[in-house]
Amino acid sequence: MPRALSAVVVTGLLLPFAGLAEEESAPGGTYLSDTQRERTPSITAFPKYPYVARRDRMEGEATICFTVNAKGQIIRPGVRSSSHRIFDKPALEAIRASTFEPLKPGESKSNLKTCRIFRFRLDPISVANEKG
């Protein structure tokens, strides 16, 4: 009887208003493409795939926009768009758990406004035919 196994992959993409792209690997094979060069992420949290979405084999994304203050804290996060409301809460929780490096003494930059897209994907791992 064939049995399909699948893994959950959540990817995030930081979309600034200018910069170059670079890919980083996070635990569990999750990838973040960070194009922001003005501020360096300190802690990047990744959302948990919602159980109901995984069970129902739903894929989608959520775009969260936020401001980074001088201390590197994320303030005023909000959902700009999402393919389904089920992805909003885990994406917001991940943004709230993330931080950026604070500005160094003497640096003065305005607050950084940006968005991050979290993509929720179910990727097949293998299909095995079992006999017996």
Which domains does the chain possess?
Answer: 2-126 (3.30.2420.10)
pTM of the entire predicted model? 0.67
- Find the largest Cα–Cα distance for the chain: 71
DSSP H helices, the chain, are 51-55, 88-96
| Cα Rg of the chain, angstroms | 17
pLDDT tens profile 49-96: 999 999 999 999 999 999 999 999 999 999 999 999 999 999 999 999
pLDDT tens profile 29-52: 333 444 455 678 899 999 999 999
Structure tokens at 19: 């910069």
Which range among 3-12, 19-28, 35-44, 55-64 has the greatest average pLDDT? 55-64
